[in-house]
Every structure is written in C-alpha cells, then in structure tokens.
Amino acid sequence: MTLRRLLRILLAFVAALALSLAWPVPVGAATTMHWGAVPAPGGFARALTPRDWDFPADFGAHPAYQTEWWYYTGNLETAEGRPFGYQFTIFRQALRPPSATASAPAADPASLGEPSSWRTPQIYSAHFTVSDIAAGDFLQEERFGRGALGLAGAEADPYAVWLNDWRIAAAGPGRVRLQASTDAMAIDLTLRQSRPPVLQGRDGLSRKGSEPGNASHYYSLVQQPTEGSLTVAGRTHAVQGVSWKDHEFSTSALSPGTVGWDWFSAQFEDGSALMLYDLRREDGGREPFSGGRWIHGAEELELGPQEYGLEITDTWRSPHSGARYPAAWTLSIPRLDLRLEVTPQMADQELATTSATYWEGALRYAGRRGEQTLRGVGYGELTGYADRLDSLRGG
C-alpha cells in the first residue's frame, strides 16, 4: 500500500467519523473524503449467487453488504412541452460489517470518550441534479450524513430512504414520493409502479468481473408514470413524465484495468425499455461482463456483450474537467432488429462529486425496431473519462 493511499484511507475515516449533521457540499469544493478509499474488511456479505428476492422487503436496506444505492432518474416536461431531467440518488456506505459492530468492545472513555448515540458505522450520501434543458443549465448538489439519530437511513415497511430533508418514501400502494430541495432547485414528485421489478443480470445477480463476489444484486423499476412539481430559477413548474429506479447492493470493486463504464437506460413511447452497460478496459475494449436487458410487456431478454453494438459518433470536451466524453452513439441490437441514434438532450451534464467526476444526464433515443418507429427518453452515466474508477469500491 502506498503512503498516498494510506493517507486517503485515514482521511476518509476521519471525515466520516467527524460527520455530525447532513450538509451540502458546494460544487467543485476541495475535499479528501473518497468513498472508494474506505477499505473492504472481511465480514461483509458478497454477491456470489442469485438471491431469493422478497418484495417489498428488498426495497429497504441490506446492511450485510458494504455498499448500496437507491437511484432515481426521470425525463419530465411541462404542459407546454418544456423538458427537464432529474437524478436523485441516496447511497449507503458501511465502515465495518454488522458482525464487527455487534462484537465491538465498549468504548474506552480514555480514548474515545463516553459511548454516544451519534456513533454509527453507516454513512449516507446523496446526489441531486436537475437538467434545465431549455435554459441549458445543469444544477447539482451533494450531501452527507450519518445513519444515526434519524438523520439518515432506510426502511422497508413503510418504504423510506432519507438524508435529512431529502426523502424517498411510500405514498400509498405502488406509489413513491421523491422530495429534495436546495436554494437553486427542488423536486416534489410522485412515481407510480407500473410493472413488477426487473431483475438485472441472472435473476438479479449482475456480475462486474471474473473475481468471486465481484457482482451486485440489482433490480430496476421501469416506465414509472411521474407527476408533480419541479422548481428552478425561483419558478415552480407542474411536470409529468416517466422515471426509472435502480437499486443495487454489493461488496465489490471493479477488476484491475477496468477504468469505468457507460450505462444507459431507455424508456420508449410504446412502453418498452432497455438497460445497457459497457464496462470499459484501459485499452478501450469491452469487458466480457458487459450487457443489458430488453423489456417489452411480458418479454424480457438478457443481452450479452456480443449482442449489441455501440458506435460513438460524436464527442464533447468538458470546459470544467477537460475530459472528453462520447456525445452521440449509434446503438444496434441485431437480435431485436433494432437500430437507434442516441443523443444527449444537452451537452454539459457533468457531475463533480467528492469521489469522482463523471457525466450523467438526460438522453434522447430515435430509430426503428424492424419496421416500427421507436422513440424514447432516458439517462446515461459515463464514468472513467475524468477519473479512473478501477480503484473505487462499489457495485
């Protein structure tokens, strides 16, 4: 272990243990708190085989695993057709496994002070972005909090995940309400579940590499009709559209030499949906554990890395990080007789967080499946272009 990495780990622990309240982090703020620097001690569960899913219990937290996130994105518009995108994600990161927490000796008053209800091994963070496409503005904020004293947490019954006043919560049978606000933006949205959870990978086991346990348990809720309000520039808009949810939990890392991934969600006007992820190697090649899933009514089709083509047709250089990202693609899936042009709804949707800088934003899809015209919207996440991610832990 290098001295630099040791210092990163120590600084991450100091920063995590010093958390007392949830707070916003200004965009571009200098920090040494990197979630990826937190070591992965023994004792955490690993995603080795498919699990027996149990909904709605599995909507909640899985503290036996080190890392977990609840990820929502959506494409919205006003009655006049003004488009917006949003992304709202809450992450859970454990500093030690439950077994270590349960067996830990009582605190030594001489070194740690009296036992405190503030202490917790569970640290939460959240990302909230709004893409104001008509104005060309990308708004972003990040927050942190500890999973103690009700400041942050996750529950299954009733379903709720929160970090201070940023909240995901059940709002009746099959409905979820998202609420988040900053000085610059806010959302208050209700999502309606329209179909059962989609289990990604093999029965919800999504492999990320050849190493045992280098995988996540992963499901999605797709094509969720959405309505509510979105506020930007001091003005609140009534909006409606469609949202996507991903929920993953794992104790894993990217394989050495895998520098990042390109992830895509697509929700089409005919009710179909598509998820793809390209795990990229440093030589530009595609990892053999890349893949995706096509969903149309009762039809679900898992896609392997050889079953789709993704040709980059344009690029964009960030004026913030200097990184060059793909900015348009031609997507082809011969097995489905599908060919699509994929374009960002606006170029600058680069997100700067404490752990990495990457592009995550609203996309547009247009093309054909056989003789049928196919149009849709979705989201993309492009990592590893500004910062390599093969040293970060996650799902």
Question: DSSP for 233-299?
Answer: TTEEEEEEEEEEEEEEEE--BPPTTEEEEEEEEEEETTS-EEEEEEEEETTSPBPTT-EEEEEETTE
Number of domains in the chain: 1
Do the domain assignments include residue 8? yes
pLDDT recorded at residue 3: 33
Do the domain assignments include residue 183? yes
Cis omega (within 30 of 0) for bond into 158: yes
pLDDT recorded at residue 12: 42
Let me know: does 269 contact 366? Beta carbons within 8 Å: no
* Mean pLDDT in consecutive groups of 10 residues from the start of the chain, 395 residues: 34 41 40 44 87 97 96 98 98 86 47 68 96 98 93 96 98 97 98 97 92 92 98 97 97 83 97 96 88 94 95 97 97 97 98 93 98 97 87 46
pLDDT recorded at residue 119: 83
Give the residue numbers spanning the domain of 63. 3-22+35-43+55-98+114-382
Do the domain assignments include residue 30? no
d(CA 131, CA 230): 11
Q: Would residue 136 be called left, alpha or beta, if left means φ above 0 and alpha means ψ between -120 and 50 degrees?
A: left
Instruction: Check the CA dihedral 380-166-10-97 and report its sign.
Output: negative
Whether pTM > 0.75 for this model: the answer is yes
pLDDT recorded at residue 178: 98
Nearest to 333 by CA among 272, 274, 269: 274
Tokens coding 366: 């247009």
Let me know: does 228 contact 221? Beta carbons within 8 Å: no
Residue 377: give its domain's CATH number: 2.40.370.10
Do the domain assignments include residue 387? no
Do the domain assignments include residue 302? yes
Residues in the chain: 395
Do the domain assignments include residue 194? yes
Do the domain assignments include residue 180? yes
Do the domain assignments include residue 108? no
